Amino acid sequence: MVNSNWEIIHIPGKPSYPPTQQPTVSVFASVIDPKLANTLVRKLNNIAPLENLRHVKRVRKSCVDGKTQLSVILCLTDENGTDLDSMAIDLLELTTCYQLSPFVTQVCKYAAITKEEWEEQGKLWPTSFHPPTYNIDGITGFSEEDSKVVFDYMNFVLKLAKSAGCQLVNAAVIVDPSVNQIITSACDEISSWNVNLDDNEVRSLGTNEASISHSVANGSSSSMFNLDGSPDDPQASCSRISCLNPWQLPPPSSSTSCFWHPLRHAAMVAIEYSASRDRRLYPSMGETDERSIQLDSNGTSTVGFPAKRQKTNLPNVNNTDDPPADRVLSKSERPYLCTGYDIYLAWEPCAMCAMALVHQRVRRIFYAFPNPNAGALGSVYRLQGEKSLNHHYAVFQVKLHDEESMAVTNDGIVK
Amino acid sequence: MGSIESEDSCSTSAFMELAIQEAKNALERLEVPVGCVIVENKKVIASGSNRTNETRNATRHAEMEAIDSLLQQWQQDGLSQSDLAKRFSKCVLYVTCEPCIMCAAALSYVGIKEVYYGCANDKFGGCGSILSLHNTSSEYSNLVEGKGYKCTGGILASEAVSLFQTFYERGNPKAPKPHRTVVQS
């Protein structure tokens, strides 16, 4: 199995730490008489709620000399020190009243994302653990069948990234996972911008609209790359990969007909192709009413629900453009931008591309190689963790393992 | 000195007025009303306004429209790659709303000289509100060696905001008023 050594890693919205090195904060706690537990917890929740530590349990049960002992968190310690006098007056009163003897201890600052993290947290002070429940497939793991699909598309996009010969480029494939179909694909077009967009559209749609073929997908594209994304072939160059070097002026081209467009990164081009596909397939359905979605999302986050497409009709929208209900392409089937779609990229996108994918409402992003210079999905910035944005996608890295490149090299398939 | 400054601020608001006119054009086409102009040597050389609904491409913000029209124009004039970069480094952008993260990055990639914006964009803003992509001396400067640009906000901000309000009132009278008027730039 070519793909058996690949791994799909969820890149969450906050930095991840090794389970044993999670950030902590200091709190005042005290051993209490179990009979007083209910009263004290009620009072404490009232006068000193643990607003930013909702994952931390207020009471710890431990076993000392065969006897059950209860401790309770009073409050966070002062930033400047652990002096008891820094406690609020009503807390000090409570302490005196119930003859508590506060001590300083550590609790984990962030809620656990994985079971391993949660188990480590409990060694300091018990916390609660709620596995992510967003409605995005894959955050809680991929089935073998789903992984196979992901690997196939990733193979396909890596082949595209290499398709420009020695000059590696970033490549993008937008997929509708509900029907397992490629919507469009694109490569960087920074120095070969074709002004005639119609031409591009025809080409991209003609070659890519069909479902991914296995003869294409099963080749071992990973053989062309090292683990960090550098090409296996020493002749190949990474200098023109858009998202890796977004500020770099490309070397002057010898050909006068060569265009330069510094913003035509693969993801941007793919979004454009998918938009023109949308206009072509659904020409008479009225304008996409982004306003309804934007207003709608003011209070709620629109974590990609594929089924949510265009359900948010405005009451005043003129529906005369809508097709009759019995038409094959009903309005409910028309995608709203890229809602519900996945995008596969060879390299982690830069800030421009990552934000473009927020705007276009992509549901999941898969990339093979991190982008330490300019990556916006974990390397330099982490847009999937920016709470203020009105849409959030799930991000995955599809990682190649050592054994993979070794095995492929031994097979002699390299280059 | 004083007279030069006031002349400058005068031309700043004059260019912003042109950007607002672009935004009004967008409003008439039922687009989110954001507009911009690009100025070189005190002359407007490109303009743009939001076309996200028309194109069904949510990246077609005013800034991207203006940059694309400039690139097309300049390449038709036969400018080389390094000429293009030189020209951008003399250009000033006036836009009615703080550039979003995407546009703020794009402006840095093309190497724009300076940006003036109207109202802040507290959901998506890439020039200080959410990220500071205009500012190379940010906390990421050791990692990102990009081109920074000077950025000044608050130019005719209330006019920009009132366009958004008009848009939402027109677009959906029954919807609750948005918590924030700024949705996109």
pLDDT, one tens digit per residue, over A327-369 is 344 455 677 899 999 999 999 999 999 999 999 999 999 999 9
Rounded-to-integer distance, Cα A306 and Cα A318, Å: 24
Beta bridge partner(s), residue A347: A369
Distance from CA of B2 to the nearest CA of A (A): 37
Contacts of B98 in chain A (CB under 8 A): none
pLDDT of residue A204: 36
Of A161-175, A243-257, B15-29, where does mean pLDDT reach its minimum? A243-257
Q: Name the more confident of B143 and A81.
A: A81
pLDDT greater than 60 at residue B140: no
Collect all residues with Cβ–Cβ distance below 8 Å to B151 and sequence separation of at least 6.
B114, B115, B116, B117, B127, B128, B134, B135
pLDDT greater than 90 at residue B53: yes
Segment 259-298 of chain A within 8 Å of chain B by CB: 259-263, 268, 271-272, 275-276, 278-279, 287-292, 294-295, 298
pLDDT of residue A234: 52
- The closest alpha carbon to A224, from A409, A401, A2, A371, belongs to A409
pLDDT greater than 60 at residue A119: yes
pLDDT of residue B174: 40
pLDDT of residue A133: 55
Rounded-to-integer distance, Cα A396 and Cα B98, Å: 30
Rounded-to-integer distance, Cα A209 and Cα A217, Å: 15
Binned at pLDDT 50, 70 and 90, residue B44 comes out as very high
pLDDT greater than 60 at residue A377: yes
Collect all residues with Cβ–Cβ distance below 8 Å to A184 and sequence separation of at least 6.
A173, A174, A204, A205, A208, A209, A270, A273, A274, A277
Collect all residues with Cβ–Cβ distance below 8 Å to B143 and sequence separation of at least 6.
A372, A373, A380
Segment 338-397 of chain A within 8 Å of chain B by CB: 350-356, 358-361, 372-374, 380-381, 383, 386, 388-390
Tell me the HSE value of A298 on the side-chain side, using a 13 A CA sphere: 16
Rounded-to-integer distance, Cα A375 and Cα A102, Å: 45
pLDDT of residue A210: 36
pLDDT greater than 80 at residue A229: no
Q: What is the DSSP letter of A56?
A: B
Q: Do A316 and B174 touch (CB under 8 A)?
A: yes
pLDDT > 90: percent of chain A: 42
Q: Name the more confident of A193 and A190.
A: A190
Q: Name the more confident of A315 and A53.
A: A53
Binned at pLDDT 50, 70 and 90, residue B93 comes out as very high
Rounded-to-integer distance, Cα A324 and Cα A321, Å: 9
Segment 67-106 of chain B within 8 Å of chain A by CB: 67-68, 71-72, 75, 80-82, 84-85, 100-106
Of A7-11, B3-7, B172-176, where does mean pLDDT reach its minimum? B172-176
Q: Name the more confident of A212 and B70.
A: B70
pLDDT greater than 60 at residue A207: no
A254, A272, A295: which to substitute to probe chain B, counting the most B Cβ within 10 Å?
A295
pLDDT of residue B22: 98
- A 10 A CB-CB count for A406 gives 11
Mean pLDDT highest for which of A28-37, A195-204, A300-309? A28-37
pLDDT greater than 70 at residue A258: no
ipTM comes to 0.89
pLDDT of residue A231: 60
Contacts of A284 in chain B (CB under 8 A): none
The burial class, CB within 10 Å (0-12 / 13-18 / 19+), for A193 is buried
**Active site annotation includes B145:** no
Q: Do A249 and B54 touch (CB under 8 A)?
A: no
pLDDT > 70: percent of chain A: 68
Of the residues B22, B31, B63, B159, only one is catalytic, namely B63
Q: In one letter, which amino acid is A390? A: N
Average pLDDT along chain B: 86
Binned at pLDDT 50, 70 and 90, residue A178 comes out as very high
What's the mean pLDDT in B96-120? Answer: 96
DSSP secondary structure, A30-53, as one string? EEE-GGGHHHHHHHHHHHS--GGG
Helix axes A37-47, A89-97, angle to 10 degrees: 170
Distance from CA of B162 to the nearest CA of A (A): 16
Q: Do B75 and A260 touch (CB under 8 A)?
A: yes
What's the mean pLDDT in A36-50? Answer: 90
What's the mean pLDDT in A229-234? Answer: 60
Of A136-150, A336-350, A365-379, B88-102, where does mean pLDDT reach its minimum? A136-150
What's the mean pLDDT in A60-71? Answer: 89
pLDDT of residue B119: 97
Count of residues in chain B: 185
User: Are B65 and B49 within 8 A, CB to CB?
Assistant: yes
Strands A171-176 and A342-347: antiparallel
pLDDT greater than 70 at residue B47: yes
The answer to whether A252 contacts chain B (CB < 8 Å) is yes
Binned at pLDDT 50, 70 and 90, residue B60 comes out as very high
What's the mean pLDDT in B158-166? Answer: 95
Please give the helix or strand (H or E) that residue A63 lies within, else none.
strand A59-64
Rounded to the nearest 5°, which phi and psi values hold at A393? -105, 165
pLDDT of residue A219: 45
Binned at pLDDT 50, 70 and 90, residue A237 comes out as confident
Q: What is the DSSP letter of B113?
A: S
What's the mean pLDDT in A291-313? Answer: 35
Q: Encode burial over B15-54: b for 16+ CB neighbours within 10 A, e otherwise.
A: bbebbbebbbebbeebbbbbbbbbbeeeeebbbbbbbbbe
The answer to whether B147 contacts chain A (CB < 8 Å) is yes
pLDDT of residue A149: 94
Q: What is the DSSP letter of A102?
A: -
Q: What is the DSSP letter of A26?
A: E
Q: Do A246 and B146 touch (CB under 8 A)?
A: yes
Segment 105-144 of chain B within 8 Å of chain A by CB: 105-106, 108-111, 122-124, 126, 130-131, 133, 140, 143-144
Average pLDDT along chain A: 76
pTM for the predicted model, two decimal places: 0.71
Rounded-to-integer distance, Cα A227 and Cα A199, Å: 36
